Each structure stands twice: as structure tokens, then as C-alpha cells.
Structure 1
């Protein structure tokens, strides 16, 4: 009798979910209110301004109630006290200043036509409020600036809350099993790699745990002048944010902690399957590495031979820094040549996705994630393609 009652209950829940899917959210985008983790403050897990962290959560439904995607949002870094203060005052960083809602779209869309593989999953978007890519952990707080560098604690507090919310035990509901993804865009891409194995360890009984890095694979180039941009950023994470303790000892025992921030070094210490989606000419990477105005000649189609030479040399270094192609099951990639940055929202739809030989990043990732086909795709163009140009490369 109890088994029959549970079965009927599950059918009822799933039927309601189908009604929700078909009637309430026909559009690909929708707003989700924020959840503030007030209890995280007692653990020292706070934003730059001392306010509690926040995330946006939309429960899954139907066959997706046991599946989760958790995205760490990006937004650059603050590399000194002045920048961090500006981040609070001008960028409204801190849960009390964040907008009450966030637009879910792209891979978070609930439209089964445009997002067939993930439309009904549990979806979490973690707000970025520490300025140190979720890696900082400094106990001391300067009473003059009142700046807190606690990004690593924020990650732990959010994971703890999500586990209690069903991330860990969802498989016990109606016999659905947990299928989680940890994803990150831009500055959220590095902590996605950093915490990928840890995320998997939190879910020891799940059959499939994988990670997705979107436009966050910022490489360490050989030219010292070009390398200085990201070196400065990552040095600040070590000194200002106290991020060294977050780095894997398997890496820091072999090289300078600074080098462990670069993904070509970090990914070697990750055992969990990882998918990298990025442009070989990522907008933020080329502006930081090659020239702050590097994108202009591309968009205006006025690049000189000297500029094209710099682009080709950078592309060669970038491709060499990617994981090797001999095991795409463990390391999948989708590398296009269009100048852009981040794809999980706007560019994760059929009408906006960039194509390589008629294959899109959303399709490549979904195939790879569900073990349908292990893609390792690199666009053949050795020069950047303007954003405005046809997306089919």
C-alpha cells in the first residue's frame, strides 16, 4: 500500500511538472529571485562588504528533478584595495545591493525546444561578490576599509546549503538519480576547475559528475610583457585575497603558486571530466594579453600584417596550452575563432550559438556530457572572426 501511494505521489508530482513545463514558461528566459545565505555570516563566508552571499535557484521538474547545474558567475577581479572598494561602491557588489532577480536563459532556459537536454533541471546561479574568483580566505579584516576576502568560504557555504536543499539526496525522490554539473564563466571558470574534484567528492554516490568551463581558460603566454596582465591579476589573488591555501598541493609542491592559477597547469591535477568552451581569440584574453584595443582592427577589418602575426602566434600558444586530444572523454573542447566572451546565456541558444562545421557548443557539450559523443573540436581559422560576421565558421 505504501509503495502504491508513493508511486501515485510521484506520478502526481511529475504531471504537475509537465503542466508547468507546457503552460507557465513558454519563453526561453525568465527571472529568478535571489536567495540570501544569512547563516553563512557566522561561518565568515561573506562578500567583500561583509554582507552574506547569495544565489538564484530554480527547482527542477519532471524527469529533471534529480539533475543539477550549478554555475559560478564571472565578473573580472579586484587586484588592490582601491579596486575592491570601487567594486562595492560602483558595481553594487554585495547581497544587499544585488538586484532581487536574475534572468535565466541559455543553458538555464526552460524551453524544451531550444534547450532539450537541460530545460527541466535544478538550476543555480551563484552571485560573484568576493572579487577573488571564489578563492580568497583571509581571516583579518581591516577596520578602516572593512574589506573581506572570503571567496573560498562562500563556495563552501553555498555547497552546504545546496546539499541540504536536495543536491545530495535528490536521488531518493521517486528513484531519480543525481546528475550534477559544476559550471563557470569567465572569472568563474577558474574556480570551476579548482573545485571540480571537490564538487565531485561532495557527491560520492552519483554516477556522473562533470564540469564546464566557459571562457575562463586564460593561458600564460611566453612573452613576458604579454604575460604580465594575468600575472598581476593572479598575484593579487595570492597576496590580497590569500588564495594560496585554495590551490591543490599537488600543483604548488611542483611550481610557483602563481603558475597554478593558469589553467594549462591546473587542469593536469583534475581527475573529474572537464569540458572547455571558448574562443581561441577570447575578447578578454586578447585585450589583456595582446593589446587593450586588439579587437578594434578585427571588427573594423583593418588589421595589419603585424597584428595578424600577433594573433596567429597567440592562437598557436593557446592551442598548445589546451589539454591533449588523446582522451576527449576526460577533456572535451569546443574552440571557435569568433571574438566574444562567455556563451552560457546569450550564445547557448540555437539562433545565437556559434557553429563549427554545423556543430554548436551547446550540442557538443550535451553530447559529451551524456556520453553520446566525445567532442574535441577546434575551428580551423587562424585569424579572429568579427563578432558581427556570420556565426557559422
Structure 2
């Protein structure tokens, strides 16, 4: 029996036992009727089509227009790559997030375009720009300057559902999905993975999270503040105590599905996530990163693997970087091609 056929069987069986499906259905139903109002070719990158949503349905953190971009391969393909853009976060005392979208956002597809060129099969592509300030998950309106007027719209959940529903409409027969994002985009893969499984129950899904590991400052007051700002508790998996406070553990619920694999890249002391946003010391951030990812790797050694490097860099600066003689590019290729040399790499 081939490995791919065995994976398909296991994935199908897992649908009978995978928890959280009903809650995922509810999320899709909540905003599932939103559709784009117009489309046009992207003026910055050839071959991409932008789909724009009404600002009364979907908008950015300050009320600006939201869109997603799609690129359909000329050949018939059941493969799909989705790129989630990064760009900070906003909560009380931390107003540092990408406020709007632009046509240049599609340039983040450079990585998946290079990856597509290295793979033997063709892939359809989607770019979901980031502009909600809540790592693609928020579902609130906020008045952060206390003047009794809404000044921040955290529409991450709404924008995400609308984007993926359109993606499913355009590419309904997808059987293999590669979902990736850096920084806030990496955090965004946590929710998008759940929504994608709801839309594509039989597809093999590969998640590459680059420097967005789903970590929060391990402090109850911090969690309560972020939850109050974004309304994350409505999304939290059931029967998961550590999920309140550490979003990385939300992956656990999905890794029970053998059709899902997750690769995580990070530096040990990422200064953007650890120092700038979470206000943690480098040593404490490293300890939290290693502890939480150790937990998932120990529980799902064949499905969750890491490429952790020394230093404090954020996102991937050099995909030819080597650890123990293995280039990051080669690690990614082994991951998506399900090769035996996809290993857990700790520098």
C-alpha cells in the first residue's frame, strides 16, 4: 500500500473522531455568506486577480478595504498554496500593526512562487493580506483611546472566513494544501488550518509556520487582556487547559488528524515576538518556545517538526541556511514531499 493512499485512508477515518468539527462549522456559518463585490487584475504582479470585499462586510483595523489575491495555474491542478501576510498586532498599550492593504501585498508570494518552481507539480496560489491587527483571529470592535468611538476593528475571523470561502469556491477540488505565513501570518495559520479542514475534509494539509509560533506571555493578566481585545476564547478548542494562554497548543486538536503536518521555523530568541511584543527576556522566550514545541513534537513526532536556529532573527532571512548540513530549503522540500529526511532540526 502506498504512503499517499494510506494517508488518504487515515484522513478519512479521522473525520469520524476529529474533535471540534461542530465549532468549526459554526465559525464558517457565522460569516460564510460574505462575498466579494468587485475584482480586477493586480497591477504590481502579473497573473494575479484581486477580489475586494465591501467595507460593510470586511474591513481593516482602521476601516479600510480588504481584499485577497488568487493566481490560477494554466494547467488543471488540485494543489493549492496559501500565503498569510505578517504585520504586527494591536491591543491596549501596543498599537503596532499593519493598518491597511495594498496591491504590493501580493509580493509576499515570492516564497511560494520559488517553491512552486522547485516542485514538479503546478500549484494554484492565494495571498491573504494582513490588516486586522489580531493575527487573523479577532472578532471585536474596540475603543482604545477611550473617546466613546470605535477606533479599531479586529475583523480577523470575518476576513479569514470570507477569504477561505472564496478560495474554496474558486478551487473546490483541491486535494493538497500548503499553508504558510511569517510572524502574524504564522500565528494566523492556527485558525486557518481549522477553517481549511472544514472546507476541505479530505485534503492533505501542510502548514509551514515561520516565526509565528503562537506564543503569548505566560501571564494570566496578559491572556485576559488579549482575549478581551480580540475575543479569542470563542475560538479556543474544548477540553484543552493549556490552550488558554498559549495559542500554539491549539495545533494539538488538529494534529489528531493524520492528514495534517506542521513544520515550525524560528530563532530561539526571536526579538520581534519575544522582546518587542511579549516583553519577555530572550532566555524566557527561548524556554517557552522549546517547552511548548517539545510537547507537540513528543506527542506527534511524525507530524510536528521544527527547524530552530540560534540567535534573535525574525522570519527567514536565508533559506539556504544550514543546520547539521541540512539547508532550510531542503528541509521544506522534504516536508512538502513527505520524504524520510524531513527531520526535527534543533541548532
On whether the aligned pair clears a TM of 0.5, the verdict is yes
Quote the Cα distance in structure 2 between the aligned partners of 1:355 and 1:347: 9
Alignment of 1:174-213 (within 5 A): 178-206=175-203, 208-213=204-209
Say if 2:245 is the partner of 1:239. Answer: no
- Cα displacement (A) at 1:340: 1.5
Say if 2:52 is the partner of 1:37. Answer: yes
1:131 alignment partner, one of 119, 123, 133? 133
Which deviations, in whole Å up to 9, do the C-alpha atoms of 1:126-156 show, x marking residues without a partner?
1111101111112688972343222101100
Say if 2:266 is the partner of 1:278. Answer: yes
Say if 2:82 is the partner of 1:70. Answer: yes
- 2:292 aligns with 321
SS of the residue corresponding to residue 269 of structure 1 reads helix
- 2:72 aligns with 59
Distance 1:139 1:279, change over 3 A: closer
- 1:153 aligns with 158
Quote the Cα distance in structure 1 between the aligned partners of 2:124 and 2:266: 24
Quote the Cα distance in structure 1 between the aligned partners of 2:308 and 2:250: 19
- Cα displacement (A) at 1:211: 1.4
Say if 2:342 is the partner of 1:371. Answer: no
Alignment of 1:1-393 (within 5 A): 35-39=50-54, 41=55, 44-62=57-75, 65-80=77-92, 84=95, 93-95=99-101, 98-100=102-104, 102-104=106-108, 106-110=110-114, 115-117=117-119, 120-138=122-140, 144-166=149-171, 168-169=172-173, 178-206=175-203, 208-219=204-215, 227=218, 232=222, 234-251=223-240, 254=241, 258-259=244-245, 261-263=246-248, 265-271=249-255, 272-288=260-276, 311=283, 315-322=286-293, 323-325=296-298, 327-343=300-316, 346-348=317-319, 353-373=320-340, 375-380=342-347
- Cα displacement (A) at 1:203: 0.8
SS of the residue corresponding to residue 195 of structure 1 reads helix
Q: Which has the larger radius of gyration?
A: 1
8 Å Cα contact 1:218/1:262 also seen in 2: yes
Which deviations, in whole Å up to 9, do the C-alpha atoms of 1:149-183 show, x marking residues without a partner?
221011000001111112x235xxxxxxx311222
Quote the Cα distance in structure 1 between the aligned partners of 2:247 and 2:165: 27
Quote the Cα distance in structure 1 between the aligned partners of 2:45 and 2:121: 12
8 Å Cα contact 1:185/1:216 also seen in 2: yes
Quote the Cα distance in structure 1 between the aligned partners of 2:161 and 2:305: 27
Quote the Cα distance in structure 2 between the aligned partners of 1:118 and 1:342: 26
Say what the alpha-carbon RMSD is for the aligned residues. 3.5
Distance 1:163 1:118, change over 3 A: farther
Q: Point out where structure 2 has 5 or more consecutive residues left out of the alignment.
A: 1-43
Q: TM-score, normalised by structure 1?
A: 0.64
- Cα displacement (A) at 1:54: 1.6
Distance 1:210 1:336, change over 3 A: same
Distance 1:347 1:56, change over 3 A: farther
Q: Point out where structure 1 has 5 or more consecutive residues left out of the alignment.
A: 1-28, 171-177, 222-226, 295-309, 381-393
Which deviations, in whole Å up to 9, do the C-alpha atoms of 1:24-58 show, x marking residues without a partner?
xxxxx96676724225x45x332222334222333
Which piece of structure 1 moves more, 54-63 or 30-39?
Answer: 30-39
Distance 1:327 1:239, change over 3 A: closer
SS of the residue corresponding to residue 189 of structure 1 reads helix
Which deviations, in whole Å up to 9, do the C-alpha atoms of 1:337-376 show, x marking residues without a partner?
1432112xx534xxxx221122122321221222112633
